[in-house]
Chain A
Amino acid sequence: MKYSYFPGCSLKGTGRAYEESLLPVFKALGVDMTELDDWNCCGATAYMSVDEVKAAALAGRNLALAEKAGGDLMAPCAACYLVLMKTQKRLEEYPAVRGEVGHALGQVGLSYEGKVKVRHPLDILVNDIGVEVISKKVVKPLKGLKVAPYYGCQIVRPYATFDNQENPQTMDKLLRAVGAEVVDYPMKTKCCGGSLTGTLPEVGVSLVHGLLREASRRGADVISTVCPLCQFNLDCFQDRVSSNYEKSAMPVVYITQLLGLALGLPMKELGLHRGVVSVEPILAQRELLHV
């Protein structure tokens, strides 16, 4: 299986731990990931707010590059995933936009036929690789670790087709496959506040609080995420939550970090030290630490 890999800006910055754990995990599963050469920012939500067609062109460049590179395009960041999917939809649904973007791409010697399949890691892990294969490769089952699977919004809504929009299951399956205990987490697709934590903190932090509170009430040891912004919000604002609402110290990790752990990959390769709220204590308590 061959995929182009679209990191997106966050995985090079605040979300480094995602990339750090993602690549080794796919390597361990025998999947070839090559980073899309000279990719650019997907445009996120902000670009759409300024100019829709330029936004489409910006994302279009990545799609064009991916089409040249061949193979499916893996976008681990929820925002990137959504924007790329959305751009594809627009290009196929709206001739006007297609024309504009096509023209613009032409100006720099690029073109896009609409052939690229945009994929999320969860999709690839469950539908291409398969839960069975993964569970066979487990060397350190996450026995006793209670995990709240948090999908966030943008990977299941509104375009994703690989999982149920109201009650997604792919992450649940993967966590069970590596021996973790999945807690029933009704907030699994609720919003983390996105950029509001930065722009209107009082609003953003209240959303973060709701998510953390429910997770601990349901007895979760950690929250597992698949989006750098979700991880950032839930992990980095717990001091605020503690001061504004109630004491909170809930480790928030990427699913790929947990998978890596179960596959027996070296801890330091998984960026587990990058959590503002450290995950090590609970892992130690559950005797899941290894070198």
Chain B
Amino acid sequence: MADANWEPRIVAIFCNWCTYTAADMAGVSRMKYAANMRIVRVMCSGRFDPQFALDAFAQGADGVLIGGCHPGDCHYSEGNYKALRRIRMLKRMLVDMGIAPDRFRLEWISASEGDKVKLVMNDMVAKVRALGPLSLPEKLKEFDVEVALEQASVR
């Protein structure tokens, strides 16, 4: 189903203090990694709302990556723990919805770990590439059509 020049699209939601800074450091160190990530900055991973991930998938993302400070290192002392709880819950939910675990990932990356950003980015892009496109929007369309037909046939 994936056409030859399909490229995975991954939305990354990074906390301002650790992971976003690490991503900057990766740049300052001129590390090269896959260009498939689109980073959205929030102040703390604690701001992560499961809706963000669901919306991203619904809008055509093939993967979602959350990045926060290591446990114990949160700039706001424990926002990342709060995030962790939601993310665990969401992960289970996504699996039930038939979205492969590799499409949704949480990583603790501290401000000094530019190299880890590179590793995670490349690794996740590779894994998602292997899974192929999620193309949820298309699926949802088909779904709507079916529903419509259903209703039609009922009448």
Say if the two chains contact directly (CB < 8 Å).
no
Q: Which residues of A contact B (CB under 8 A)?
A: none
Give B contacts to A, CB under 8 Å.
Answer: none
